[in-house]
Amino acid sequence: MATITDYLRLVKFSHTIFAMPFALLSFTYAWTTTTPSHSLWILLLQVVGCMVFARNVAMGFNRWADRFIDAENPRTATREIPAGKVSARGAILFVTVNALCFIATAISINSLCGWLSPVALAIIMFYSYCKRFTASAHIVLGISLGIAPVGAYMAVTGTSAIECWLLALVVMTWCAGFDIIYALQDADYDRSHGLHSIPSHFSARTSLIISAMLHIVSVLLLVWFASYQPQSLLLYIGCALFAAILTLEHILVTPTRQRSIGIAFGNLNALASVTLAIFLIINLLVY
């Protein structure tokens, strides 16, 4: 019988930290630049709840949709569904419960979030099938995670603004870039099984160049977003550290040295998002 730990591993719950800091940053920006009519802590709990439920839907559905692919790939054969730790039926039930919780929580925030919640779910679930027909799957993943800051801003204001869309584009290009690096691990398998990704279509060198270009765009978009913030040393340090960590990611992973993909993908990207959010949130609260 599957345990709670098995389900947390199924959805890689620790990876929630990728998009969560950007959602909290967008939430704080909206809260400090508008006049909210909600209770801060109740709304914050609702936004965090939506983030967790959406993340569970995205990863749970991805693992369910990919269960046969994962079973054939030696790198992923030990994942929870192909390894028999979580049943396919249990996984889809888990996804359904989280989807309903996400929609219910979004509706409780405001009408805009409620109406758009099924659209958000459709996008994040659509990603799971993209690698079957397009190498643009990395971009779709980025869009899926980029929903987080837009949703957080809408939760506070009931509308959107250029600032939250800029932050969404930062997340989109950043995530697409690091997902290309992650996909290097499966380039040969994807190529031989008709699956699509940037690394399966191009050489490792070209793939890493595309990833680096996306990360450069991400930093430039971050600078644009930062122009809307109170200008301070905290802001400059936060943005500089984010750029430095992404640079380190590309130093660690090269066409001939890919043993550090796990560190670059998991540790450095988590550090990048958390560091940026801490500095910019403090900047918004202090100034």
Confidence of residue 35 (pLDDT cuts 50, 70, 90): confident
CB neighbours of 250 closer than 8 A, spacing ≥ 6?
Answer: 208, 211, 212, 215
Q: Does an H or E element contain 40, and which?
A: helix 40-65
pLDDT at residue 13, rounded to an integer: 63
User: Residue 92, by phi and psi: left (phi above 0), alpha (psi -120 to 50) or beta?
Assistant: alpha
pLDDT in tens, 233-266: 999 999 999 999 999 999 999 998 888 888 888 8
CA count, 13 A, side-chain hemisphere, 122: 5
Question: Tell me, what CATH number does 185's domain have?
Answer: 1.10.357.140
User: Which of these, 117, 124, 123, lies nearest to 155 by C-alpha position?
Assistant: 117
pLDDT at residue 274, rounded to an integer: 95
Q: Is the pLDDT of residue 14 over 70?
A: no
Q: Is the pLDDT of residue 17 over 80?
A: no
pLDDT at residue 15, rounded to an integer: 64
Domain that holds residue 18: 4-286
Counted domains in the chain: 1
pLDDT (mean) for 205-211: 97
pLDDT in tens, 83-136: 989 899 999 999 999 999 999 999 999 999 999 999 999 999 999 999 999 999
pTM score, two decimals? 0.94
Euclidean distance between CA atoms 17 and 10, whole angstroms: 16
Q: 159: how many CB neighbours lie within 10 A of its CB?
A: 12
